[in-house]
Homo-oligomer: A and B are copies of this chain.
């Protein structure tokens, strides 16, 4: 079947499939099956086949999937076969770790500018590309002039909503938010949240009492 209002939950699994395929490629494998992929990811083979069926027919009966082919197909579907320019706001401990992370390139993302409010951060080089940290006052202008659509927020919670607002006003359509706060954005803007405390608190319910 062709492209027709794919459930968000399906889109959400594709990057995980993509990541697993990347490992298979690194292992030198050529062919895999929905069964093997499911076993590795802890989900059913039926779900993988159903998810993929939203976008086309990528496998061969009796054989399975060509790993490299499926990998490229998924990259195209997710639009990460091109590089997306990204702005990063927040140059503290977390921002630094993000700027130093080598895992974005090759996965479709390139941090093009870093911003911070603090005097002692601005003007200094940071991250794997040695980007000079700019004052946050320049955020909107930079986004607009470079047509950037993806932003990462790594500020304290108190500043996050204002930063999101500036990003959105300047044209950002996707925000990865590390600040521990739910952002209010227009419905045409996507937000993904990363909060380690939420992650941990989702598990303690299931732990035996100490």
Residues of A that sit less than 8 Å from B by CB: 11-12, 14-16, 18-20, 23, 40-42, 77-80, 82, 84, 86, 93-94, 96-98, 100-101, 103-104, 107-109, 147, 149-150, 152, 173-174, 176, 180-182, 184, 190, 192-210
Residue picked from A149, A205, A209, most chain B C-beta under 10 Å: A205
A41 to B198, CA, bound (A): 14
User: B23 touching A181 by the CB < 8 A rule?
Assistant: yes
Check if B206 sits within 8 Å of A190, measured CB to CB.
yes
Contact A18 B201 (CB under 8 A): yes
Q: Please give, as numbers and ranges, the residues of chain B lying within 8 Å of A150 by CB-CB distance.
A: 200, 203-204, 207
**Minimum distance in angstroms from A178 CB to a CB of chain B:** 8
CB distance from A64 to the nearest CB of B (A): 19
Name the B residues within 8 Å of A205 (CB-CB).
11, 14, 77-79
The reply to whether B96 and A197 form a contact with Cβ atoms under 8 Å apart is: no
Q: List 22 A-B contacts (CB under 8 A).
A: A15-B198, A15-B201, A16-B182, A19-B182, A40-B182, A40-B184, A79-B209, A80-B204, A84-B204, A96-B97, A103-B180, A103-B196, A108-B200, A149-B208, A150-B200, A150-B204, A173-B203, A173-B208, A174-B207, A176-B200, A190-B203, A193-B199
Closest to A154 in B: B97
Do B199 and A192 touch (CB < 8 A)?
yes
Nearest Cβ distance between residue A122 and chain B, in whole angstroms? 20
A104-B199 contact in complex given A19-B180, A19-B182, A190-B206, C-beta closer than 8 Å: no
Residues B93 and A210 in contact, CB atoms below 8 Å apart: no
